[in-house]
Amino acid sequence: MTTLLIIVHVLVCLFLIGIVLLQHGKGADIGATFGGSSQSLFGSEGPVPLLNKITTFSAIIFMGTSVSLAYLSANRSTGTVMSELKPVPVEQSVPAPETAPVTIPLPAAQQAETKQAQETVQAEATTPEQPAKKEQQEESKEKQE
């Protein structure tokens, strides 16, 4: 249906262009007085009434096909392309995998210093002397007061 309507629309459009180009403008009468011939081919009145009627009929058909094509294109489909897609679940964030610490080989002197520092930190963390020192400090403050 739409294809047939488009074909009729294009043909009427081309026919309407041809009919309008065949007609004389308003200033053509002046040119006819200086050597133009009488146009008895279309009757005594000339081509105006016949070409006017053909132009009017063509214009009505052109407007009808234009409105019909506009209506068909506006109401062609109610669906969308997006209706064919399936919903995609929301991806949950996955924590990044833990990576092993990078070890850089150190010179022997630095390795020894690092090892001593680690042993010192571990020794301080495991010694029970710290709570005892705090108690002694608190007792000494009480005595001074």
- Alpha-carbon distances of 57 from 6, 41, 53, rounded to whole Å: 18, 21, 6
pLDDT in tens, 13-70: 999 999 988 887 666 555 555 555 555 455 555 556 788 889 999 999 999 999 999 9
CA distance linking residue 22 with residue 41, whole number of Å: 14
Most confident range (mean pLDDT) of 56-65, 81-90, 94-103, 135-144 is: 56-65
pLDDT of 93-104, one tens digit each?
A: 767 777 766 666
pLDDT at 132 over 70: no
CB 66 within 8 A of CB 9: yes
Q: Look at the pTM and tell me if it is higher than 0.85.
A: no
Mean pLDDT score across all residues of the chain: 74
